[in-house]
Amino acid sequence: MDAPASYIFMPSSLNQVNFLEPACGQSMRILGGAAMAGALLAAACRPAPAAGPVKWITGYYSAQNGVQQRPTLISSAETIAWLPQIVDGGARADTKLVSVTGAVNSPGVYEVPLGTTLGAILDKAGGVTGTLKGIHVGGPTGGVLAASKRDTKLGFEELRAAGTHMGSAQIRAIASDTCVVAYAAKLFAYLAKETCGICVPCRVGTARVQGILEGVQSQLGRDTDTAWLAELGDHMEKFSLCGFGITAPSILKTTMSEFAADYRAHIQDRKCPTGTCAPIRARRYETMAQP
Ligand code: SF4
């Protein structure tokens, strides 16, 4: 390691909010910008996601440019666990702990080499129960890949190229009787609840996307809804302040491109192709400005 100094920042494993509150005198929620917020706190700045001048204080990517502009590792026990091998023997972190859930026989946490295919990881978890429809990779803000993408390799660049990201390294097998529109609507209902609300693109964007998706799920969709969803997703990705809002649109992008037939069936044929989702809205979600 050539850097003259680096830092390891380990927040309380019990509750990061409790760790940060006494030091900064204000409450904070755990969110996608937690790493940047932690580095800001160590630099005696307000520990909240922000754009503009604070960027040069810590940099957004603390691993390269964190506290006092030195490489800073934040918060990940998995990262810390690699340190002895890296420092002693120059090892590279070449395995990843993945959490496999959903329609598999043996859900659990597995350690796999980076580069393992998603299909091989599902096989390691006992194989898929029934027929695989999709693979949700990266946690709640991760994208949903079609079953045909099971050869995609587990890697930061490979997943990004496929339209999702490593995120929390969750891999969820989605069964063939799952309505992808309802699945995406449920994810955005969760995100709209969890957003910290500091920036408008994420706070308003998650709620709007949730409303539109629930309308489509409830057979109230219009042909213009997919364009509207794409525009909202682009806006969130470009203008949100932290990784939460920046990565959430990958759900929209992947489900609308890889499961376009599900959206079409709901919007044009007014029916769910799987027959598994029920209407949850009596009226469409409308705003003054929409395509
Ligand atoms: S992107 Fe969302 S979670 Fe992140 S700062 Fe903005 S409102 Fe908060």
pLDDT recorded at residue 263? 96
Quote the CA–CA distance of 108 and 106 in Å, as a whole number: 6
Angle in degrees, CA 15, 18, 23, rounded to 5: 140
Q: pLDDT tens digits, residue range 130-163?
A: 999 999 999 999 999 999 999 999 999 999 999 9
**pLDDT higher than threshold 60 for residue 283:** yes
Residue 26 CB neighbours (<10 A): 10
Structure tokens, 210: 């949730």
Q: Is the CB of 135 under 6 A from ligand 1?
A: no
Average pLDDT, the chain: 82
Choose one of 244, 246, 247, 250 to mutate for the ligand 1 pocket test, by most ligand atoms within 8 angstroms of C-beta: 244
All domains of the chain, ordered by start, with CATH? 7-89 (no CATH), 95-175 (3.10.20.600), 180-267 (1.20.1440.230)
CA of 232 to the centre of ligand 1 (A): 15
Identify the CA nearest to 34 among candidates 22, 23, 48: 48
Rounded CA separation 14/21 (Å): 13
Ligand 1 within 6 A of CB of 142? no
Whose alpha carbon is nearest atom 8 of ligand 1?
196
**Look-up: residue for tokens 């030195």?**
70
Residue 19 has pLDDT above 70, yes or no: no
pLDDT over 70 (residue 246): yes
- For residue range 93-137, what is the model confidence (pLDDT) as tens digits? 789 999 999 999 999 999 999 999 999 999 999 999 999 999 999
Which is the closest atom of ligand 1 to the Cα of 33?
4
Q: What is the mean pLDDT of residues 261-285?
A: 93
Query: Which atom of ligand 1 approaches the CA of 206 most closely?
Result: 2
